[in-house]
Amino acid sequence: MDTFIEQLPIVVHSLNIGFLQTLKLFFVTLIGALPLGLIICFGSKSKIAPVRFILKIFIWIIRGTPLMIQLLIIYYFPGLVLHNPIWGGDESGRFFASSVAFIINYACYFSEIFRGGIISIPVGQDEAGLVLGMTRSQIFFKVKLLQMVKRILPPMSNEILTLVKDTSLARIIALQEVIWAGQAFMKGSQGISGAIWPLFFTAIYYLICNGLLTLLLGGLEKKLEYFR
Partner 1 sequence: MSILEVEHIGKSFEHTEVLKDICFTMEESQVLSIIGSSGSGKTTLLRCLNFLEHADSGVIKVAGNVVFDADDKEYLKDSVIRKNRLHFGMVFQSFNLFPQYTALQNVMLAKQLQAEKLPDFKAKKKEIFTEIEDEAKMLLYQMGLSERMNNYPHQLSGGQCQRVAIARALAMKPDILCFDEPTSALDPELTGEVLKVIKELAEQKMTMIIVTHEMAFARDVSDEVIFMDDGYVLEYGTPDEVFNHPKEQRTKQFLGRFIEG
- Look at residues 162, 154, 152 and name the one whose alpha carbon lies nearest to residue 206: 162
Going 134 to 135 to 136 to 138, the CA torsion angle's sign is negative
Q: Alpha-carbon distance 217 to 158, whole Å?
A: 10
From first CA to last CA, the distance across the chain in angstroms is 55
In terms of CB distance, is 187 or 222 closer to partner 1?
A: 222
Asked if 191 is part of the footprint of partner 1 (rule: CB under 8 A), the reply reads: no
Dmax of the chain from CA atoms? Answer: 75
In terms of CB distance, is 63 or 136 closer to partner 1?
A: 136
x-marked contacts with partner 1 along 126-155 as a string, rule CB under 8 A: -xxxxxxxxxx-x---xx--xx--x-----
Residue from 16, 120, 125, 190 in contact with partner 1 (CB under 8 A)? 125
Q: For residues 150 and 224, is the Cβ–Cβ distance under 8 A? A: yes
CB 132, min distance to partner 1, A = 4
In terms of CB distance, is 5 or 123 closer to partner 1?
A: 123
CB 199, min distance to partner 1, A = 47
Question: In the 8-state DSSP scheme, what is residue 102?
Answer: H
The residues binding partner 1 (CB under 8 A) are: 122, 124-125, 127-136, 138, 142-143, 146-147, 150, 226-228
